[in-house]
């Protein structure tokens, strides 16, 4: 590590399941001695998955810096996006340390884990393609290609739970449950509005001019 290099921290909080940022930030401050100003926090709420703090962090990182996360799931929602991020860090000589997994990707063990993640990512892609092919073949055999399919309530409930758990990307949830993005987004929006109504918060009506 270069003498003028810095150590940053990144936290991602899921407000949907009541996560608190203090626990992650305390880890950064107490165990890795990262100042508050160098800890970036994204708070994910509702159906929006934008991570502006991660974008700002990537702009702040310089060659030779180190990034600490509580776990790999905090910085990436899929193995594919994690691999892309790690490749970018490697090209800039940025070290990623995951506290929960006890991984430093600049070490031999970390590089071995990276190879394993790459293999699992390829397996996931192959498995997803196979499920899509089987689903299409099954639908054709029943003459159900085309048109709007009926929503499976159990599948939708599973999709909502997976989203709340904050461990899968939207694309992964869609692939696993078979629920379309539009149906999932609509259900999440309806759930959020219902919760706001119960809490006595007025829900803004959609702007018809948009």
pLDDT of residue 206: 43
pLDDT digits over 47-105, tens only?
556 789 999 999 999 999 999 999 888 888 777 788 888 889 989 999 999 998 888 88
Please give the full DSSP string across the chain, using - where no structure is assigned: --TT--EEEEEEEEGGGT--HHHHHHHHHHHH---GGGEEEEEEBTTB---HHHHHHHHH--TT-EEEES-HHHH-SSHHHHHHHHHHHHHTT-EEEETTTTEETTSHHHHHHHHHHHHHHHHHHHHHHHHHHHHHHHHHHTT--SS-PPP-HHHHHHHHHHHHHT-S-HHHHHHHH---HHHHHHHHHHHHHHHHHHTTPPPPPP-TT-
End-to-end CA separation in angstroms for the chain: 50
Alpha carbon distance 209, 185 (integer Å): 21
pLDDT of residue 46: 47
**Global pTM?**
0.56
pLDDT digits over 183-197, tens only?
999 999 888 888 777
pLDDT of residue 4: 82
Alpha carbon distance 64, 146 (integer Å): 52
- CATH code of the domain occupying 7-104: 3.40.50.1390
pLDDT of residue 3: 63
Neighbouring C-alpha atoms within 13 Å toward the C-beta of 168: 17
Of the listed 5, 14, 78, 121, which one is catalytic?
14
pLDDT of residue 208: 40
Neighbouring C-alpha atoms within 13 Å toward the C-beta of 1: 14
pLDDT of residue 49: 63
pLDDT of residue 153: 86
CATH 3.40.50.1390 occupies which residues in the chain?
7-104
pLDDT digits over 125-146, tens only?
666 667 667 666 666 666 655 5
Alpha carbon distance 95, 111 (integer Å): 11
Q: Let me know if 71 is a catalytic residue.
A: no
Alpha carbon distance 10, 144 (integer Å): 46
Average pLDDT in the chain: 78
Based on the number of CB atoms within 10 Å of its own CB, is 28 exposed (0-12), middle (13-18) or buried (19 or more)?
Answer: buried
């Amino acid at each position: 590590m270069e003498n003028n290099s810095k150590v940053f921290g990144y936290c991602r909080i899921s407000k949907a399941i009541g996560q608190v940022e203090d626990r992650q930030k305390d880890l950064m401050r107490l165990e890795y001695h990262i100042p508050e100003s160098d800890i970036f926090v994204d708070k994910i709420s509702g159906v929006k998955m934008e991570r502006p703090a991660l974008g700002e962090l990537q702009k702040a990182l310089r060659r030779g810096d180190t990034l600490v996360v509580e776990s790999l799931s905090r910085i990436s929602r899929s193995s594919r996006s994690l691999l892309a991020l790690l490749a970018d860090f490697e090209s800039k000589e940025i070290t990623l340390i995951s506290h929960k997994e006890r991984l430093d990707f600049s070490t031999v063990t970390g590089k071995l884990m990276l190879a394993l993640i790459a293999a699992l990512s390829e397996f996931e892609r192959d498995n997803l393609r196979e499920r899509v092919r089987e689903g299409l073949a099954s639908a054709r055999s029943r003459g159900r290609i085309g048109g709007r399919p009926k929503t499976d309530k159990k599948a939708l409930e599973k999709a909502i739970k997976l989203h709340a758990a904050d461990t899968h990307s939207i694309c992964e949830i869609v692939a696993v449950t078979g629920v379309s993005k539009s149906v999932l987004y609509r259900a999440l929006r309806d759930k959020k509005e219902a919760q706001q109504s119960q809490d006595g918060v007025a829900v803004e009506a959609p702007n018809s001019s948009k």
